[in-house]
Structure 1
Amino acid sequence: MLFLLLVVALQTSVSYAQQKEVKGKLFIIGGGSRPSAMIDRIILESGIDKEGYGVILPMSSSEPDTAAYYAKKQFLIKGITNVHALQFVKDEKLSSDKIDSLKNASMIYISGGDQNRFMEVVANTDIEKAIHEAYKNGSLIAGTSAGAAVMSKMMITGNELKNAEYSSTFRNLQSENIEIKTGLGMIDNVIIDQHFVKRSRYNRLLSAVIEHPEKTGIGIDESTAILITGNKIEIVGEYQVIVFKNPKKSKNMYQDKLGAHGITLDIYLPGETFTIK
């Protein structure tokens, strides 16, 4: 009996330690315009109006200076002057000062563009480690569009493996068609998709949860975000967040066409919350 009590106490202690391990929050925006109230919420959750500073990472963009300018402008309009761009390039010799600036930021904001371009610069570098350390220590990690896609460990690239011509949405549900690469892994048990309702990306995310049923698919519309605090997700902004789950791990095939049964779909509105494992 004493042994069982010790085991339970140890498990509780480990669980509590895991909950306490990450002090930061994620603010994941589905792209499009960012309403004024959304910027207010970023400022509130990060606390940069009271102390610390924010960093903009514009490496997703083909025009990083322009991306940084417009991201910074929204904070300047609010009277927040302590937000600065920090640009990195692939294979750069990283200075400790630059990494420390990232690691100690109260807010890290990843711009839109191309998620593949961002990860080519950041993957397996001290930049990636610094972002995770900042998050662990209490920073708000935010990102929009491509900056949203990089948040999950399994990252949708936007490419179709069986259709070379790019389309904003998948034409059908095909097996082995969705290209997945490794993202930042700020959150491990979901797959993030963006511009979701606006660009009708249902086929893409459905393909993902059929082929990777252990993951929850979260599609975030434009001008909308999810705020993740621990295992709680709050919808912020103007439109919907669509959540797909495949609890039965169902996957059926006809030639290369995908089918499944028991997939759940939830549509969340601004102000609503839900939890994830």
Structure 2
Amino acid sequence: MAIPTQYPIMVIGGAEDKVGELIILTNFFNSAGGTQATIGIVPCASQEPSLVGERYQIIFTQLGAQCIRVLDIRSPNECDEERWLELLEGCTGVFLSGGDQVRLYDLLQDSTFITTIKQRVQMGTLVLAGTSAGAAVMGEKMISGGSSGESPNRGLVDLMDGLGIIPELLVDQHFHNRNRMARLMSAIAAHPDKLGMGIDEDTCAAFKGDGTFEVLGKGCITIIDPGELSHTNYRSSGDTSPLSLHDLRVHILNSGDHYDYKQRSVCRPRLGVAANV
């Protein structure tokens, strides 16, 4: 039996399959150690953390996790408490649930808890997954809210700091499901040094730890690369005026595609694998 691929970080667009094949959750479970995994569930982005924590606890129990811990942190001060840090120390995987990304950020920012998670991910001793709100906080900057159904404009998106787990990215979730292309473009106009990543529901960017990620799940990942952006009127435009963005690069990736986010390039199919053109 082949050893499952290890994904140190998994960024999920929300609404991942919880009752069918569980492709994304199974890959997280396997990356965290399979039946030997100790999984920590962080449901604090949700307004109903007890219910969310219990739901994921049932799922990972059914998958066969050795131990599951619900890290039900309710205030920023708790993030530095020894009881949570001791539980975190024994985890091989941590799962950040959906909910409100601003709430999640406010609870975890600058805490010993999130610092420990970052250090352990870098050391290769912990797998981190985040879905929906848990995906939005991954970048150094994050989308905290906004609208859809309009042309790109400054007022379409609300931005703030993120947790900086993958600083290069600016992530939007529930992407095509909620028509958020213009929102992500507006965010990238504000932060053209970042790489825009729009992740559909039941879709995951599974990072390999080598500067690349693989797409898992049923939807697409949209990459908006402003590396060759030659012009934008962002700084001079009004809040609701349409934005100009010249020479953006856009990639649409689906299951099995690989992308190098450090080099900002699509990883071409291996020799011997036919390309559909």
Q: Place the TM-score, normalised by the shorter chain, in its bin.
A: 0.7 to 0.9
Give the one of 99, 103, 114 matched to 1:117: 103
Whether the 8 Å CA contact 1:24–1:137 is kept in 2: the answer is no
Q: Tell me what 2:38 maps to.
A: 53
Q: Tell me what 1:182 maps to.
A: 161
Q: What does 1:1-277 correspond to in 2, within 5 Å?
A: 25-34=8-17, 35-50=21-36, 52-93=37-78, 94-138=80-124, 139-159=126-146, 167=147, 169=148, 171-175=150-154, 177-230=156-209, 231-249=211-229, 250-252=231-233, 255=238, 256-277=241-262
- What secondary structure sits across from 1:198 in the alignment? helix
Counterpart-to-counterpart distance in 2, 1:121 and 1:24: 25
One-letter code of the match for 1:252? N
Aligned-pair distance for 1:211?
A: 2.0
Identity %: 27
Counterpart-to-counterpart distance in 1, 2:149 and 2:167: 24
Counterpart-to-counterpart distance in 2, 1:177 and 1:240: 22
Whether the 8 Å CA contact 1:103–1:133 is kept in 2: the answer is no
**1:2-46 CA-partner distances (Å, limit 9, x unpaired):** xxxxxxxxxxxxxxxxxxxxx971101100132512222112211
Aligned-pair distance for 1:134?
A: 2.3
Aligned-pair distance for 1:183?
A: 1.5
The more displaced of 86-95 and 215-224 is 86-95
**1:41-60 CA-partner distances (Å, limit 9, x unpaired):** 1122111423x411000000
Q: Give the TM-score, by structure 1 length.
A: 0.83
Uncovered stretches (5+) of structure 1, i.e. residues with no partner? 1-22, 160-166
Counterpart-to-counterpart distance in 2, 1:121 and 1:233: 28
Counterpart-to-counterpart distance in 1, 2:216 and 2:35: 20
Q: CA 1:251 to 1:104, structure 2 compared with 1: closer, same or farther past 3 Å?
A: farther
- What secondary structure sits across from 2:99 in the alignment? coil
Whether the 8 Å CA contact 1:24–1:136 is kept in 2: the answer is no
Whether the 8 Å CA contact 2:184–2:196 is kept in 1: the answer is yes
Whether the 8 Å CA contact 1:151–1:185 is kept in 2: the answer is yes
Counterpart-to-counterpart distance in 2, 1:89 and 1:156: 22
Counterpart-to-counterpart distance in 2, 1:177 and 1:39: 32
One-letter code of the match for 1:245? D
Higher gyration radius (CA) = 1
One-letter code of the match for 2:171? I
One-letter code of the match for 2:73? F
**1:128-176 CA-partner distances (Å, limit 9, x unpaired):** 21221221222110010001101111111013xxxxxxx4x25232136
Counterpart-to-counterpart distance in 1, 2:60 and 2:242: 46
Counterpart-to-counterpart distance in 1, 2:127 and 2:174: 22
- What secondary structure sits across from 1:92 in the alignment? helix
Aligned-pair distance for 1:199?
A: 0.8
One-letter code of the match for 1:33? E
Whether the 8 Å CA contact 1:234–1:271 is kept in 2: the answer is yes
Counterpart-to-counterpart distance in 2, 1:192 and 1:221: 11
- What secondary structure sits across from 2:52 in the alignment? helix
Q: CA 1:91 to 1:273, structure 2 compared with 1: closer, same or farther past 3 Å?
A: closer
One-letter code of the match for 2:227? P
Runs of 4+ in 1 over 4 A off after TM superposition: none
